[in-house]
């Protein structure tokens, strides 16, 4: 088996590695069938009007990018509208503007920290047909203002999300940070899991009563269900397991156990680094295992590369694209039920910039191509028949995954994360690594793999922020407003023949990824 990225130089010198064996059927470590809409998004509450537009001026670019993904994975992404700013938002029934926000750069340079929304905020939910949503309600705000905001917005949300637009509900964003947030604590130091659960139950019961009064069909159809508790991660002041044991789901209204994740600091050391990905997901897998008796799926309701909305030159680079592929496929292979990649206007790690601003150009960004590759590799998930297996290569800098459809091996993904940087004076031919796979027994005899099609995720290097393609397609705004456009200067329809001994070999350049599609 291929063992370590440090032997790459030896491979170039002509040393052959052992073939990587592929199982014909899902191995013991393969995931359960992947949930539909695995590739989903979380959009910052204050940015949602930018991403969606309104009924007078819908954001067709955003909608096109979302539909591209829906076409690949069989169902559209589920859109969670939330984040830190959902817990800053208060409601003014007389306000004509959808959202009024004020920035305090001592608290955040990326989003407003004083926010008022009016009834027209909910008009943004009308712009994307056949999409489903979660609306994030403010839990952090207490007292009269918090209560008035809750009772004022629940009826508007349930009415706006009628006609099949409602996915689930959410109350509060990362309440495990309420006592310790650097932007200002909103709960006393003694506030604990029991206190949180009591507050959660009180407020969700108010919400249910309001929904029953204004949208009774939601309750009748069993759609009053939550993503919860939406905690921010390890080391914070509330523990997810203790919270659950304190009775968070006493009303049996939680559909998904929701946690959030924002990793690291560097490109090669954190993002283009499979070991870092494994370690960052391990905490969630531990929580998922401890809560397995609930029978509820465990998801990541908000995540992306690097905390604090990402870092320029890192989170918007092709290296972050490769991280996104490895991270999402590792989550899928290890039982994380769904991943919502977080987005926001001007955010460095966003998959696209929805509007033109003084800080960012309207357009498709590098991470979107990672979303596309993940959706293409998973394929149509609506039949509930796709499972993913992690093929650990024993290396920090590359990993592989197998996709099984109806119990049969159909696709293999390889992510090569050795940094190849074009802006630091890279010279000479771009290094590549050769991967050889042993296909299942019976190759070239009867119902066997005849050939293998190759789809490549490519850019000039890990530090590239433009010029990215998947399978020869560009999704850039300037070409056809986000629709896939074939580029004539990128190789497509590559086919690798299967040797008589069942071996198949593919070269993968540093800082790139491929999907091998098995043709039976």
Active site residue ranges: 193, 302
Contact (CB, 8 A) for 392 and 404: no
Structure tokens at 423: 């802006």
Contact (CB, 8 A) for 142 and 196: no
Contact (CB, 8 A) for 189 and 244: no
d(CA 338, CA 54): 27
Query: For residue 229, is the peptide bond before it cis, meaning its omega torsion is within 30 degrees of 0?
Result: yes
Residues 6+ apart with CB under 8 A from 250: 197, 201
d(CA 418, CA 6): 10
Structure tokens at 70: 């829906």
- Nearest C-alpha neighbor of 350 from the set 377, 378, 370: 370
Q: What angle do CA 260, 273, 12 make, to 5 degrees?
A: 160
Residues 6+ apart with CB under 8 A from 151: 206, 210
d(CA 255, CA 164): 17
If you compute the radius of gyration of the chain from its CA atoms, what whole number of angstroms results? 23
DSSP alpha helix (H) spans, 5-100: 8-12, 48-52, 60-73
């Amino acid at each position: 088996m291929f063992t370590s990225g440090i032997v790459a130089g030896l491979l170039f010198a002509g040393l052959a590695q052992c073939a990587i064996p592929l199982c014909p059927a899902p191995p013991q470590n393969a995931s359960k069938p992947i949930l539909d809409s695995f590739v989903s998004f979380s959009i910052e509450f204050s940015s949602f009007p930018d991403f969606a537009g309104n009924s007078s001026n819908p954001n067709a670019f955003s909608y096109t990018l979302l539909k591209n993904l829906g076409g690949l994975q069989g169902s559209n992404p589920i859109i969670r509208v939330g984040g830190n700013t959902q817990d800053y938002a208060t409601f003014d029934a007389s306000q004509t503007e959808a959202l009024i926000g004020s920035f305090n750069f001592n608290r955040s340079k990326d989003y407003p920290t004083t926010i008022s929304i009016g009834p027209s905020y909910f008009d943004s939910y009308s712009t994307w047909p056949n999409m489903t949503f979660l609306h994030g309600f403010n839990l952090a705000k207490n007292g009269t203002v918090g209560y008035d905001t809750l009772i004022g917005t629940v009826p508007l949300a349930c009415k706006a999300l009628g006609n099949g637009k409602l996915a689930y509900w959410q109350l509060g964003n990362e309440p495990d940070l309420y006592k310790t947030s650097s932007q200002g604590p909103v709960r006393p130091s003694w506030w604990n899991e029991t206190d949180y659960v009591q507050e959660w139950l009180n407020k969700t019961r108010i919400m249910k009563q309001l929904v029953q009064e204004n949208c009774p069909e939601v309750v009748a159809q069993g759609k009053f269900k939550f993503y919860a508790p939406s905690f921010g991660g390890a080391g914070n002041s509330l523990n997810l397991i203790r919270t659950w044991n304190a009775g968070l789901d006493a009303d049996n209204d939680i559909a998904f156990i929701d946690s959030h994740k924002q990793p690291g600091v560097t490109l090669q050391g954190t993002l283009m680094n499979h070991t870092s990905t494994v370690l960052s997901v391990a905490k969630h897998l531990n929580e998922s295992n401890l809560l397995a008796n609930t029978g509820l799926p465990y998801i990541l309701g908000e995540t992306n590369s690097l905390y604090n909305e990402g870092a320029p030159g890192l989170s918007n680079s092709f290296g972050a694209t490769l991280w996104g592929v490895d991270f999402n496929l590792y989550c899928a292979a290890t039982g994380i039920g769904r991943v919502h990649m977080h987005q926001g206007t001007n955010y460095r790690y966003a998959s696209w910039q929805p509007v033109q601003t003084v800080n960012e150009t309207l357009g498709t960004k590098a991470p979107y191509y990672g979303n596309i590759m993940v959706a293409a590799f998973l394929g149509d998930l609506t039949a509930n028949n796709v499972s993913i297996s992690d093929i650990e290569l024993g290396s920090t800098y590359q990993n592989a995954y197998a996709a099984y459809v109806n119990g049969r091996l159909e696709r293999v993904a390889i992510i090569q994360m050795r940094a190849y940087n074009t802006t630091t004076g890279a010279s000479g031919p771009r290094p590549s690594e050769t991967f050889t796979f042993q296909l299942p027994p019976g190759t070239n005899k009867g119902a066997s793999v005849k050939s293998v099609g190759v789809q490549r995720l490519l850019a000039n290097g890990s530090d590239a922020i433009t010029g990215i393609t998947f399978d020869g397609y560009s999704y850039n705004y300037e070409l056809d407003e986000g629709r896939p456009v074939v580029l004539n200067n990128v190789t497509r329809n590559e086919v690798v023949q299967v040797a008589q001994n069942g071996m198949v070999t593919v070269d993968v350049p540093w800082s790139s990824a491929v999907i091998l599609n098995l043709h039976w």
